[in-house]
Structure 1
Amino acid sequence: MNEEYLAYVHENAPKTKQLKTLIPAFLVGGAICSIGQLVSDLLKMWTSLDKEGIGAATSVILIFLGSLFTGLGLYDRLGRIAGGGSIVPITGFANSIVSPAMEFNQEGVIFGISAKMFVIAGPIIVLGVSASVVVGLIYMIFL
């Protein structure tokens, strides 16, 4: 039964043009990371922040830019073109928080923005924190 279903899915699933989707994802993801590196280099030249401070400031700036472009409606267009190339960088995380907040804005601050802001990113945050606790406990016990 399972083999029949898998054969049916394989036969009827839409064929993805991998090269057509991989190239824009690679280029956009690389461009976002290059912008992050440029911001980091500029902060290194213009400020007296240490390495950790530069990393934190770069993350904040990229999150701000991702949120701004989401608010302006530009990040969704970029996502349609780039797919995973726009989701994987930290700007995609910002987009996953700002998009639901904008969508449910009409329902008010409490039941709209606050309640729905983490609909997409919430499970990722919970699993990330849980995994880090488990790995930390394993590290503490065995090392």
Structure 2
Amino acid sequence: MKKNQPSQSDYEKFIEDKIPKPNYLKNCTWAFIVGGLICTIGQFIHNRIEAALNLSHLDATNATILIMIFIGASLTGIGVYDLIGKRAGAGSIVPITGFANSIVAPAMEFKREGYVFGIAARMFVLAGPVLVYGITSSVVVGILYYFLKIR
């Protein structure tokens, strides 16, 4: 080791002191507010669709999901959803609009590579693992429920 070079533990301590500490309370508050706002907008849309079109609750729910996915994808396309995500964190990722963002963002990033090897091949880079583990865990829970339910 050179004479003026710090040891590994000194360097790690120096780096740890320099890394900014996140404000957990502020981050959780923003996530709660933005996630709640997204869900409130979704509920408002649901109520309007159910009342205006005289749809059943299930049909209005399906239409609301489609509209929220469209809104999330559109906001991602014009670059607004990324700004929301920087402030809100998990508050913007958890609702269905975050799923739309996780599909559209990689597709936009790789569109220069073409429709097949760019958009189609890379579209599910972020959402793919979520879908795989979500579907797998729902199947496991369903099987457990089937065998363990009280008869």
Q: How many residues align?
A: 136
TM-score normalised by the chain length of structure 2: 0.84
Partner of 1:122: 128
Q: Residues of 2 paired with 1:70 and 1:20: CA distance? A: 24
Q: Residues of 2 paired with 1:72 and 1:89: CA distance? A: 19
Cα distance, 1:14 vs structure 2: 4.2
Matched, 1:61 2:67: yes
Structure 2: runs of 5+ lacking an equivalent:
1-11
How big is the alpha-carbon RMSD for the aligned residues of Structure 1 and Structure 2? 1.8
Q: Residues of 2 paired with 1:43 and 1:129: CA distance? A: 29
Cα distance, 1:23 vs structure 2: 1.9
Cα distance, 1:84 vs structure 2: 1.1
Counterparts of 1:1-143 in structure 2, within 5 Å, are 12=16, 14-143=20-149
| Higher percent of residues as helix | 1
Q: Residues of 1 paired with 2:25 and 2:133: CA distance? A: 31
Cα distance, 1:27 vs structure 2: 1.3
Q: Higher Cα Rg: structure 1 or 2?
A: 2
Superposed CA offset, 1:49-102 (max 9, x none)? 111111111111000000000001000011111111111111001000000000
In structure 1, give the amino acid aligned to 2:116: I
Q: Residues of 2 paired with 1:62 and 1:108: CA distance? A: 27
Cα distance, 1:36 vs structure 2: 0.3
Cα distance, 1:108 vs structure 2: 0.6
TM-score normalised by the chain length of structure 1: 0.88
Cα distance, 1:25 vs structure 2: 1.4
Cα distance, 1:30 vs structure 2: 1.0
Partner of 1:3: none
In structure 1, give the amino acid aligned to 2:107: A
Q: Residues of 2 paired with 1:34 and 1:123: CA distance? A: 28
Partner of 1:4: none
Structure 1: runs of 5+ lacking an equivalent:
1-7
